[in-house]
Amino acid sequence: LQDWMDNGKPPVFWISGFYFTQAFLTGALQNYARKFVIPIDQLTFDFEVLSVNDCDTPPEDGVFVKGLYLDGARWDRDIGLLAEQHPKILYDPVPVIWMKPNKKNEIKEAGSYLCPLYKTSARRGVLSTTGHSTNYVLPIKLPTDRPIKHWILRGVALLCQLDD
């Protein structure tokens, strides 16, 4: 936090480090809503997985996040799509993801898997007093060249932290 005070917000946020991740994400949407004078309830995130593990400059709009792992699949960095896991590798570190605020009616979901993001591998949680799950964060849209059912049957999910 002292670094944020001295040098401003970082270009890439380690999303796994937030206790209440939904509040951080709502703040990112609020910043966009205020900038473009759009009601926040008309906004959601679009996603772009970058080909890098870190960035030096923040995006113009939205946030860059890092620290996520794919469970049940891997991210093919060469073609920018979900792919089958490599043998004996359970979790694949995901490159930086750009969470781009956008109007809900402008988001295209075809050819993408809505991958659930969980804080832990337990994949379960309880509703807190805020109405949010204590484990589930949000779905992240990941491009794929396979049917969505393929990834659902494999139980593919993104995780903020690993068990070990």
Question: Cβ(75)–Cβ(92) under 8 Å?
Answer: yes
- What is the predicted pLDDT for the residue at 7? 82
**22 Cβ contact list (under 8 Å, min separation 6):** 130, 132, 137, 138
Q: What is the pLDDT of residue 133?
A: 73
Total residue length of the chain: 164
DSSP 93: E
Kindly list the averaged pLDDT for each block of 10 residues, start to end, along the chain of length 164.
79 91 93 96 96 92 97 96 94 97 90 93 75 84 96 96 84
Which value, to the nearest 10 degrees, does the dihedral of the CA atoms of residues 132, 139, 84, 112 take? 170
Sign (positive/negative) of CA torsion 34, 46, 91, 123? positive
- For residue 110, what pLDDT is reported? 83
Predicted pLDDT of residue 40:
96
Predicted confidence at residue 124, as pLDDT, reads 75
Predicted local distance difference test score (pLDDT) of residue 1: 62
Q: pTM for this structure? A: 0.91
